Amino acid sequence: MYGHGHGHAYGMAVIARLECLSAPVTCYIANRMADDSDSHVPGPLDQLVPGLRKKAERFAALPVHPRVVHARAPSGDRTIVLASFAPPVSVRALAAALKPVVEAALLAELSRPASELAADDSQLTALDLYTFCETPLDCRPAFALYGMKPAQLDDPGAHTALALLRREAQLVERDGADGTDEARQRYRAQLVRSPHPLAARLARSLRESAPKEPWGSKPGELARQCADQLTALGHAGVEPTRAGIERLEAVVVHRTEGALRWIEPILFQALCDLIAVAATVTFERPVQWGVCEPDEETKLAPPPVLLAERDGESFHVPLGEHVLRWCVMPSAPGEDIPTLGAWAEHEFT
């Protein structure tokens, strides 16, 4: 069920719990440190395959392992860590297999509840992938699609991730002689953040003041706070319109090519909230906010989602997934990407 937005600036709502979500990806999210147990944590984004949420003692060796771990540096900074335990059949197949796992891992991070963000201000800095098998293919083009480049295995920053993955490798069924628990190659995507001078200040401020309820519980409230704080900082004009979305986009979205363009989760959620308000207030598209309650088992929240209406028919808008692909995933060199405001106008009119 959804909260129903009403047609005035930044919206109010009658709140109801989200009971269905069209999951865009299949992935495990395992937030494990080196001294944790070997039990995995299945994510809320894994509902496409029945039974996937059940604990499996052994995993098949795949070119892209379906479990994701987080490695935390002594400074507190975190890295999303992926693994490959089998050679891909082709570079194209590897690129296709990477897509749902990378997107799931990033969406899980971007959808962290505001209450959790307020208690943990650690920074996500990179996404790493380690291969545990040899392949005759040049896989660099597939990894480059996700901003990943070859990196040193003996880098001190890799020690925690390697410790986690060596244990993970012991849970993987691999036939033949290539059953080593030692990584062969490492690829790393360093996250880039908006260089706008207000981006970091806005993120810090919103982490403290944003509603602590799940996204969608108070439609428009996060967008309103975001707009008010930017106005106080001298950046007025963030409103539920195409131009207003573009004003916020200019602050929080990086425009560099070929890199993962990270948006702090609270700003990502504010951007989604602003688009939802614009959909109903300006673009006159009836929408209902999905209330993104964290999963009781995994404590992970699903990404922002809307239920919209067109010509009397209701349809889901996986808003978090759209914003991720538009604003976070790497863009190709020379690619001319329309603004997110332009996308929202087209989507809801």
pLDDT tens digits along 44-69: 444 434 444 445 467 899 999 998 99
21 near 302, Cβ under 8 Å?
Answer: yes
Long-range pairs for 160-166: beta carbons < 8 A, 24 or more residues apart: 160/33, 160/34, 160/71, 160/72, 160/73, 161/69, 161/71, 161/79, 161/81, 161/128, 161/130, 162/130, 163/34, 164/32, 164/33, 164/34, 164/69, 164/71, 164/81, 165/69, 165/81, 165/83, 165/130, 165/132
* pLDDT band at residue 242 using 50, 70 and 90 as cut-offs: very high
Q: Residue 1 pLDDT more than 70?
A: no
Domain assignments of the chain as residue spans, ordered by start:
2-22+193-348, 28-191
**Given this model, what pLDDT does residue 82 score?**
97
Q: Residue 12 pLDDT more than 60?
A: no
* pLDDT band at residue 149 using 50, 70 and 90 as cut-offs: very high
Q: Residue 3 pLDDT more than 50?
A: no
State the Cα–Cα distance between residues 68 and 102, nearest whole angstrom.
9
The model's pLDDT over 304-343, given as tens digits with 9 standing for 90+, comes to: 999 999 888 999 999 999 999 999 999 998 888 999 999 9
Between 41 and 55, the more confident residue is 55
Q: Residue 25 pLDDT more than 60?
A: no
Average the pLDDT over 199-221 and give the result.
95
The model's pLDDT over 186-197, given as tens digits with 9 standing for 90+, comes to: 999 999 999 999
State the Cα–Cα distance between residues 276 and 319, nearest whole angstrom.
8
Q: Mean pLDDT for the chain?
A: 84
State the Cα–Cα distance between residues 123 and 83, nearest whole angstrom.
21
Q: Residue 23 pLDDT more than 80?
A: no
Provide the 3-class DSSP secondary structure of residue 143.
helix
Average the pLDDT over 270-288 and give the result.
96
Q: Residue 135 pLDDT more than 50?
A: yes
Between 247 and 6, the more confident residue is 247
**Given this model, what pLDDT does residue 238 score?**
98
If we measure between CA atoms, which residue out of 308, 252, 229, 248 comes closest to residue 276? Answer: 308
Q: Which helix (H) or strand (E) holds 345?
A: helix 340-348
Write the CB contacts of 102 (distance below 8 Å, at least 6 apart in sequence). 82, 127, 146
pTM over 0.75: yes
* DSSP code of residue 50: T
Q: Residue 224 pLDDT more than 50?
A: yes
CA angle in degrees (0–180, nearest 5) for 343-348-349: 100
* pLDDT band at residue 181 using 50, 70 and 90 as cut-offs: confident
